Structure 1
């Protein structure tokens, strides 16, 4: 698992907020460059192709590349940076947090935090993100030289190894999915497939799924599998429809998803005696699979999720065994297509 851990760490160390995925795309391209034909498009998507280019069946494998973050909206008279959400950032984890500001120079900052003694609402009060600010230690004039509205801000944290096969990092949503497809390409490197495969590391999922919409339209696949993260069991959360760390891939069941593809993935997991769980959704999935399935005249689509704790925080947690099992499951599926 050490190589898989290092893959995850490399991917999570590259910044990539919605609309600013270039560094993350470069990191992913480096992992796939020896395994597939890689290119980027105008939306910021990264695509990689392998398998049989002339095959009748064309499978799209999608994982979104972007991560939640913040965007600079202004600079006040004292040099503090005004901020807004860039994706679904959780306001509860921001105050007092260390961040990196990607301006003309890369700056260290801290999200301003009012001591609880001075808060009218006490310790439980959390300001909206657009009422928060980032302190980079500069005056107004100094800050204006290095930072401008539109620059991005991310949690300042390093990936960490936990006990066993678990790791923690910011951005595992969804670099975990990116790692799954990198690992899948490694597994299939020496194999001859009867289908064409396009890997789509899509942009801007956290702000609406624009990359998946345009990427799927351009690829024109005959079927697709999306990989994202979903909720794992943790303290304080009811154990209903949740995955478990180390419990294997979560195979999605929803109206928008292809039942036949889902059933075959479940069958393969059973045949391989692989741990897995169902994830039941009565409407949309909240992932790129919704956009892909309704692209063009429709694309049969399946969804597999990697169990993850503490989503949209600086310390998301996954189990590497779930990355490996998900990659092995998709590889087994691709061997049968065509």
Structure 2
């Protein structure tokens, strides 16, 4: 607590700057970074296209490295304490479990979501030779008079072929990943929609922070990680945590704050309105941030004039894989409507402000 109080006192004398996300140029930059990330495809375990997009969007001085788990690392600065930021590259989707005699594809989910949101929608099968278009087939309703079955059958995809051989001739194989076509779309004002905002906003925030950092002025080492396979068990982050062990002082996992800020949801849990700034994930299903660290985080945000919300939400975060090594997890997020759906909604002011917050933490905490 003394450390938190000392940090708050130190930062209270720093000049407060105008919230940079209010500047239209900052919103435009956030959109220019987030758009290409949203429109890159990368189901858990197949994140290479997203990783390449991240590398392309980083500044020229950045020299990231890829580890054996597919995680992208960027080390900046020198000295202690070591601080780690981590945002995941992967998105929810499917893999081909088997190819049926009629040429259709039997699917297995990658990540947790409502499969019904994909039913009777366009599909994209990602193969080693390119993308193959298809549709998610509607599932047949129960044909008897008994109550509707509680567990619907797995989804299937048709690529238009009518035999297994014809489907295989298109390059489709067991293990191919499947998603839905997606676009990054600007809405009125500073809002935007698209699929896979989770966690491309976190990826974008780290890129924005790196772009505006002066690496020569950092007082300690910071490692930015874009991790793999978060949606299927935090696997990429676990590899990073094992590699670093007890070295980091803090880890800041950056991931969605699944907000109740939507017209149909009860306002008694996960209340963090979109457009009012990033969120300190004080409590989720995987980690609890110590109150003293929340106080320090508030002081950092206040010193830079960044609006900061606090809340509790469902879900886990990559930082929880570091806590067995004694590393404190101070998770960050942004409010997101309609998480894990084809039409997630964010406010670009929150995206820009989250980038500002990551930069501030790296520079002054």
- TM-score normalised per structure 1: 0.90
What does residue 270 of structure 1 align with? Answer: 302
1:78 to 95, 102, 116: 102
The 3 A distance-change label for structure 1 pair 328 and 16 is same
What does residue 230 of structure 1 align with? Answer: 257
What does residue 356 of structure 2 align with? Answer: 328
**Is the 2:300–2:364 contact (alpha carbons within 8 Å) kept by the matching residues of 1?**
no
RMSD of the alignment, in Å?
Answer: 2.3
**Is the 2:301–2:360 contact (alpha carbons within 8 Å) kept by the matching residues of 1?**
no
What does residue 54 of structure 2 align with? Answer: 28
The 3 A distance-change label for structure 1 pair 121 and 93 is farther
| Most deviating of 324-333 and 185-194 | 185-194
Partners in 2 of 1:177 and 1:32 — Cα distance?
A: 14
Partners in 1 of 2:105 and 2:56 — Cα distance?
A: 34
1:253 to 277, 282, 292: 282
What does residue 243 of structure 1 align with? Answer: 272
**Is the 1:110–1:136 contact (alpha carbons within 8 Å) kept by the matching residues of 2?**
yes
SS in 1 for 2:263: coil
**Is the 1:32–1:48 contact (alpha carbons within 8 Å) kept by the matching residues of 2?**
no
CA-CA distance at 1:243 after TM superposition? 1.2
**Is the 1:160–1:167 contact (alpha carbons within 8 Å) kept by the matching residues of 2?**
yes
5+ residue gaps, structure 2, are 1-26
- Once the two structures are superposed, the pairs formed by residues 87-102 of structure 1 within 5 Å of their partners are 87-102=111-126
SS in 2 for 1:228: coil
Check if 1:46 corresponds to 2:78.
no
Partners in 2 of 1:56 and 1:272 — Cα distance?
A: 23
What does residue 134 of structure 1 align with? Answer: 157
Runs of 4+ in 1 over 6 A off after TM superposition: 124-127
| Most deviating of 212-221 and 300-309 | 212-221
**Is the 1:35–1:186 contact (alpha carbons within 8 Å) kept by the matching residues of 2?**
no
The 3 A distance-change label for structure 1 pair 228 and 276 is same
CA-CA distance at 1:35 after TM superposition? 4.2
Aligned length: 328
CA-CA distance at 1:267 after TM superposition? 1.9
Partners in 2 of 1:127 and 1:137 — Cα distance?
A: 30
SS in 2 for 1:206: coil
- Once the two structures are superposed, the pairs formed by residues 95-244 of structure 1 within 5 Å of their partners are 95-103=119-127, 104-114=129-139, 120=143, 131-140=154-163, 141-145=165-169, 146-189=171-214, 192-219=217-244, 220-232=247-259, 233-240=261-268, 241-244=270-273
Partners in 2 of 1:235 and 1:35 — Cα distance?
A: 44
CA-CA distance at 1:138 after TM superposition? 1.1
Partners in 1 of 2:183 and 2:149 — Cα distance?
A: 25
The 3 A distance-change label for structure 1 pair 121 and 92 is farther
SS in 2 for 1:274: coil
**Is the 1:84–1:129 contact (alpha carbons within 8 Å) kept by the matching residues of 2?**
no
Partners in 1 of 2:249 and 2:345 — Cα distance?
A: 34
SS in 2 for 1:15: coil
The 3 A distance-change label for structure 1 pair 168 and 34 is same
Check if 1:292 corresponds to 2:328.
no
The 3 A distance-change label for structure 1 pair 3 and 129 is farther
The 3 A distance-change label for structure 1 pair 285 and 71 is closer
SS in 1 for 2:248: coil
**Is the 2:306–2:356 contact (alpha carbons within 8 Å) kept by the matching residues of 1?**
no
The 3 A distance-change label for structure 1 pair 246 and 35 is farther
Partners in 1 of 2:149 and 2:257 — Cα distance?
A: 25
**Is the 2:115–2:155 contact (alpha carbons within 8 Å) kept by the matching residues of 1?**
no
Partners in 1 of 2:218 and 2:295 — Cα distance?
A: 21
> Deviation digits for residues 45-84 of structure 1, max 9, x if unmatched?
111111x22x121110010111000111111111111111
SS in 1 for 2:64: strand
- TM-score normalised per structure 2: 0.84
